[in-house]
Amino acid sequence: MTLFEKIKALYPTLQDADFLDTIRLQNDSDGKGDYIAKWEHPTLPKPTDEQLA
């Protein structure tokens, strides 16, 4: 399961548009994989490492 899929499963109400605006998942193509570059959602808290494990 990708990071995007984990977050969508955790917060099913999130829409794709949220990931262009208040949330940004990023991959710098440096071999380190996907990560949360920005989390500014007005109501949902940033997931913890435990929630995403």
Partner 1 sequence: MSLVAISGNASGTGTLTIAAPNTNSNYTLNLPAAAGTVMVSGNMPAFSAYQSSAQTLSGGVATKITFTTEEFDTNSNYDTTTSRFTPTVAGYYQVNACVTFANATAAEQNRTQIYKNGAQAKIGNNATSTVNQGATSVVSALISMNGSTDYLEVYLFATGLGGTTPTNAIAGATYFQASMVRGA
Residues that bind partner 1 (CB under 8 A): 2-5, 7-8, 16, 19-20, 24-30, 34, 37
Q: 48 to each of 7, 15, 29, 30, how far by Cα in Å?
A: 10, 20, 23, 23
Nearer to partner 1, 2 or 51 (CB): 2
Say if CB 8 and CB 14 are below 8 A apart. yes
